[in-house]
């Protein structure tokens, strides 16, 4: 379990992280999101003890990261956005070095490293020098070092940054497997990746947590019920007719040979029948009318811009779990 309470980081008069609190329970996979400069990496660095906080506490499985750093760090594995790899070492030498740092028993190392190499897909480069590896393999080795000792908690900062689509899918698959045995905090700008692997999302903006919920609930709060409409010709007339409906809050059009019309309801209800009846009344042929699932990208943009307030996005001002324990 990770417990963050009233965590703050100041650089002079600048507040990078502003009194944030949250809890990540055992077995959860949580996406930690925010725009550039929001405080994500600073928060993760404080959680791992890489930098100290100005105030507040971080507990990893009950151990406070600054008061009891040795025991706290035994509980976690950290993969920063730039993997901490020694370029002139072979992968084998580097992972052995990490084992030394983490004080892994020599009798346990061979079997553990074999399992980690298989899990992260680096068996075939185990004897190669790190500086000669591709970006994708360096990311994998960075993930492998976080797994040394099989810690309960994994904190992964942009684990797929700079990878090609195939490599992203492969690393995503690895993270899914890790989620079966570990508590994971994942920071990423690829929101489809977060949607695919995370149970919950925490969004930070300007140093403050602005939303926390499941991806399904978050997109539900932010976006009303929408439908995608495809008509045969007379697109402009169809747009005008749909815009006049009282139950409609917004009509958008996507380009292409066959433009699609996205219609959003004011009160979040299903408006497929109203849309079809309106177009049929004016004899505009309707090819398709289907529900449009809101995306995490849309939710994210509305939350950080403040537009989501009216939809009731769940805010976190303080940590209720911690309060109850006290």
Sheet holding 29-33, edge to edge: 76-79, 153-157, 183-187, 29-33, 200-205, 208-213
pTM of structure: 0.74
**318 vs 189, more confident:** 189
**What's the half-sphere exposure (Cβ side, CA atoms, 13 Å) at 12?**
1
Lowest mean pLDDT segment, chosen from 80-89, 297-306, 310-319? 310-319
Model confidence at 308, pLDDT cuts 50, 70, 90, reads low
- What integer pLDDT is reported at residue 311 of this predicted model? 42
- Residue 90 vs residues 54, 84, 85, 218: alpha-carbon distances, Å: 38, 14, 10, 44
**Three-state DSSP state, 91:** helix
Q: Tokens 């602005």 — which residue?
A: 210
In the chain, the domains with their CATH numbers are 1-75+151-223+294-326 (3.40.50.300), 89-147 (no CATH), 224-293 (3.30.70.980)
| pLDDT per position as a tens digit, 14-34 | 999 999 999 999 889 999 999
Q: Are 43 and 17 in contact (CB under 8 A)?
A: yes
pLDDT at 295 over 80: no
- Residue 118 vs residues 91, 114, 167: alpha-carbon distances, Å: 13, 6, 16
19 vs 199: CA distance, rounded Å? 24
117 vs 137: CA distance, rounded Å? 11
- What integer pLDDT is reported at residue 257 of this predicted model? 65
Of 309, 118, 172, 139, the residue nearest 126 (C-alpha): 118
Quick one: how far is CA 309 from the chain centroid? 21
| pLDDT per position as a tens digit, 261-276 | 988 888 767 788 899 9
Mean pLDDT of the chain: 86
User: In the structure, how many helices (H) and strands (E) does the chain have?
Assistant: 12, 14
Model confidence at 224, pLDDT cuts 50, 70, 90, reads low
DSSP lists the bridge partners of residue 76 as 153
How many residues are recorded in the chain?
326
| pLDDT per position as a tens digit, 33-70 | 999 889 999 999 999 999 999 999 999 999 999 999 99
| pLDDT per position as a tens digit, 151-205 | 999 999 988 877 788 878 888 888 888 888 889 999 988 787 788 888 899 999 9
- What integer pLDDT is reported at residue 312 of this predicted model? 45
Hey, which of 178-182, 214-218, 282-286 has the most confident mean pLDDT?
282-286
């Amino acid at each position: 379990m990770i417990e963050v309470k009233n965590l703050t980081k100041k650089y002079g008069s600048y507040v990078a992280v502003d009194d944030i609190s949250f809890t990540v329970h055992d077995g959860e996979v949580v996406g930690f999101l925010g725009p550039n400069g929001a405080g994500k990496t600073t928060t993760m660095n404080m959680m791992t003890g890489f930098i100290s906080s100005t105030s507040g506490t971080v507990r990893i499985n009950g151990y406070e990261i600054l008061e009891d750093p040795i025991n706290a760090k035994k509980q976690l594995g950290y993969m920063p956005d730039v993997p901490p790899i020694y370029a002139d070492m072979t992968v084998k030498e580097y992972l052995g070095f990490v084992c030394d740092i983490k004080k892994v028993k020599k009798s346990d190392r061979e079997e553990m490293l074999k399992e980690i190499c298989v899990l992260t897909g680096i068996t075939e480069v185990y004897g190669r020098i790190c500086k000669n590896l591709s970006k994708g393999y360096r990311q994998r080795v960075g993930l492998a070092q976080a797994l040394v000792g099989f810690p309960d908690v994994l904190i992964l900062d942009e684990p797929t940054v700079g990878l090609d689509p195939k490599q992203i899918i492969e690393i995503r698959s690895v993270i899914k497997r890790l989620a079966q045995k570990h508590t994971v905090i994942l920071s990423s700008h690829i929101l489809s990746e977060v949607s695919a692997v995370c149970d919950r999302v925490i969004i930070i903006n300007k140093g403050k947590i602005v939303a926390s919920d499941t991806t399904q609930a978050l997109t539900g709060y932010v976006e009303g019920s929408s439908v995608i409409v495809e008509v045969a010709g007379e697109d402009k007339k169809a747009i005008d007719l749909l815009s006049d409906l009282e139950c409609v809050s917004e009509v958008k059009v996507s380009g292409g040979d066959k433009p699609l019309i996205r219609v959003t309801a004011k009160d979040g209800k299903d408006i497929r029948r109203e849309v079809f009846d309106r177009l049929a009344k004016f004899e505009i042929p309707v090819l398709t009318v289907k529900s449009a699932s809101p995306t995490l990208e849309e939710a994210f943009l509305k939350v950080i811009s403040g537009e989501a307030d009216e939809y009731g996005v769940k805010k976190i001002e303080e940590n209720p779990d911690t309060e109850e324990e006290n």
